[in-house]
Amino acid sequence: MALVMAKLPELSVQILAWIKDHGRASVSELSRATGGNRNTIKDHLRRLVEDDQLTKHGAGRGTWYSLRV
């Protein structure tokens, strides 16, 4: 995973590290933890899901993300 993370933007690396430490995360949790804008975080999460790094669970306000197993 280190090689993959080296190519990611810093915010994406922070998101993956936070989810690894906490098991799962919502956009709100990641916004508070990283200080990032909600829309920016959503964009990074979408890319991480598309790249098979994360799994998206649910929809709307109840959406949360976990590392892809």
pLDDT in tens, 16-48: 999 999 999 999 999 999 999 999 999 999 999
Name the pTM for this structure: 0.89
- Phi, psi dihedrals of residue 51, rounded to the nearest 5°: -85, 10
Burial 15-33 (b: 16+ CB within 10 A, else e): bbeebeeeeebbbebbbeb
7-67 adopts what CATH topology?
Answer: Arc Repressor Mutant, subunit A (1.10.10)
Q: With bands split at pLDDT 50, 70 and 90, how would you rate the model's confidence at 3?
A: very low
Contact, 30 vs 43, CB < 8 A? no
Domain range list for the chain = 7-67
